A and B are shown apart, each in its own frame.
Chain A
Amino acid sequence: MLEFPVRTLVLLLLSSAMAVSAERDNCFESREGFGPVNTVKTENGESNIRCSEETGAVLWWQDAFEGTGPMHPMLHGARLQKTPPEESSASEQAVIKAIIPTLKLYPVCGTACHNGSYPPLSDNSPRKLVMHMDVVPDASNLQHGKGALWCLDCHHNTQRNSLLDNFGKEIHMDAAPLLCAKCHGNTFTDWSNGIHGKALGEWQSHGKKRWFGCSECHNPHDVVNGESENGFKAISPEQITTKDR
């Protein structure tokens, strides 16, 4: 008896929120706090995306390719190494949202401190850092790799805007999945085949597709805390409103 008016109130609140849901500012595409998206009006006056009024997640795209660009050549090359050459032109259809504009520290990292002019660190062992505590609260206790990893296992020693491959060479930040592939090879293979990860765009095997990079869904600095039963951070579900079928 008590439940009914509460539920009705919630529903009323929700329905009043629905009117402005399309204009919601803090929408996010994959994981909360990463890659906020803005609603853009398209030619026919409709909003490009529709977000959930409950969680803010983008549920519906009118144009899935809004704000995307071609995939980084390094990544593209790695993805296509098994593809016959005649198909590689068709695979130019792969687009992705660049990570760099979403990284707050990126412009500073490469110019202010880690521009290569400082001598490389001789000591790679984990220790507490006073910097970057907003990204990694406790660098000596990184929540990735169960104690086996530290900053410089992934980030380049002197060129801090780049990532590091197994042979000490640089990986461009926009080709980050190549870094992840160092340990998660099977997952990278599945991702390259389109089996792992989000799928936006066209269904044809040669169609234009929007790819999601690893870090658009997984937080590389906090994968352990984000882990749960299914290896994905718990999120609040969309609620359904009726039992009447």
Chain B
Amino acid sequence: MPENIPLKEIDVTEKPESPGSSASLSRRKLLEFSAKVSTVSLLGAATLLSGCDDSSAQVSWAENFQKAYRLMSADEVAAAIKRLEARYSEHFSKAVSVDSSKAEPGVLFGAALNLQKCIGCRRCVKACTLENNQSRTEGEETEWIRVLKMEQEPTQQEDAEHYYQSESVPQQNAHYMPISCMQCENPPCVKVCPVQATYREDDGIVVVDYNWCIGCRMCIQACPYWARRFNWREPGLSSEQLNPNTHYLGNRPRMKGVVEKCTFCIQRVRKGRNPACVEACPVGARKFGNLLDENSEIRKVLASKRVFRLKEELNTEPKFFYFAD
């Protein structure tokens, strides 16, 4: 009777007096024991490390065992910031500040881009790189903004030319559409993150806690706008290239194996300044501001221009608007 066999087995395991239970009990004891042993050994390693002179080992130890950023208490945040500032300043041999300012109430950031004005000069792409400390190794540069070149006919994002090497721009019969993180109100990347390392801040910016990211790249798969980048290698960034004004959730130097993306230049906008791409645009196509302030430039754009959002049908609710005069 093959059907009885599994039933029998289940009965045996559920009864406490059965011979199988002693095996499971002993396994539990073993697990408890090994847990104790591993805790002791971890503590031992911690005492060893905290006692040794190698400050970088202590820092990396503390960084590996810190909490997720948004669950940290104010003291823990301050300690983490202090650790990072010391480590970065030593590594880049210049004073690096790491900001931890929080979202202000009554602020919801949004950006807009005038497609009729954009000439595809990629100055925003380069300005973003200068500001946000992306990896720059020879022949390979991480960029958060991608400029799509489209022919006059309506084109899908997937069919557009990304790597155009024109002598001069704008080319006749072409239009240009920069895409980057759309800072969705309903972000698919946040939904799929298994460890909640990426999340939406209260002012609407979707951020990545680099120390909590496990590098599974689910968010890269989920993003319909190709906005996220992965550090496949140890990022290359020289001391001269480093922008020393950083934010914990923004442009602080990243490590290998973590995902990064546009943060609306969180280190700038939390201090009141426009993002780097907005300032760099030579034709003034990019606008930025507070969506909750009806006197802001962005609200005037939304009120007076023809506006659309990319891939609206996906219900991601982007806060990045494209418009035309």
Contact = CB atoms under 8 A, between A and B. Distances in A.
B138 A15 contact: yes
Interface string A210-245: 001000010000000000111010111111111111
Contact of A203 (B163, B229, B272, B280): B272
B140 interface: yes
Contacts of A195: 287, 297, 300-301, 304-305
Most buried by B among A30, A199, A203, A229: A203
A78 interface: no
**Tier of interface size on chain B:** 35 or more
Contacts of B240: 19, 22
A61 B276 CA distance: 8
A200 B171 CA distance: 27
B105 interface: no
Contact of A240 (B130, B143, B284): B143
Nearest to A15: B138
Contact of A241 (B94, B140, B172): B140
Contact of B272 (A57, A58, A202): A202
A60 B278 contact: no
Nearest to B116: A230
A185 B127 CA distance: 32
A201 B301 contact: no
Nearest to A194: B297
Interface residues of A, number: 53
B27 to A, nearest CB: 46
A89 interface: no
A57 B279 contact: no
Interface string A10-42: 011001000100100000001100000000000
Contact of A232 (B119, B163, B287, B296): B119
Query: Chain B contact residues: over half helix, strand or loop, or mixed?
Result: loop
A125 interface: no
B163 A240 contact: yes
A50 interface: yes
Contact of A229 (B125, B130, B141, B173): B173
Given A61-B279, A195-B287, A203-B296, A242 B168 contact: no
B86 to A, nearest CB: 17
Interface string A50-61: 101000011111
A126 interface: no
Nearest to B242: A46
Contacts of A8: 139
B281 A202 contact: no
A44 B286 CA distance: 29
A197 B131 CA distance: 22
A203 B289 contact: yes
Contacts of B280: 58-60
Contact of A234 (B117, B130, B168): B168
A11 B139 CA distance: 6
A166 interface: no
A236 B168 contact: yes
A187 B172 CA distance: 24
Contacts of B304: 190, 193, 195
Interface string B22-48: 000000000000000000000000000
Nearest to B286: A199
A237 B169 contact: yes
A202 B107 CA distance: 14
A61 B286 CA distance: 16
A204 interface: yes
A114 to B, nearest CB: 33
Contacts of A61: 279
A228 B125 contact: no
B283 interface: yes
B300 A193 contact: yes
Nearest to A186: B325
Nearest to B296: A205
A19 B287 CA distance: 31
Among B139, B240, B281, B288, find the residue whose CB has the most chain A CB atoms closer than 10 A.
B139
Nearest to B278: A199
Given A195-B305, A245-B229, A240 B287 contact: no
A68 to B, nearest CB: 14
Nearest to B163: A243
Leading 9 A-B pairs by shortest Cβ distance: A238-B122, A205-B295, A194-B297, A234-B168, A198-B284, A59-B127, A197-B284, A60-B130, A242-B140
Interface of A: 8, 11-12, 15, 19, 22, 30-31, 44-46, 50, 52, 57-61, 64, 190, 193-207, 212, 217, 228-230, 232, 234-245
Given A199-B286, A236-B167, A237-B120, 10 more contacts: A11-B139, A12-B138, A193-B297, A199-B287, A203-B274, A203-B296, A205-B297, A217-B284, A235-B121, A237-B121
12 contacts: A30-B282, A52-B123, A59-B126, A198-B283, A203-B289, A203-B296, A217-B284, A229-B171, A230-B119, A237-B120, A238-B121, A240-B143
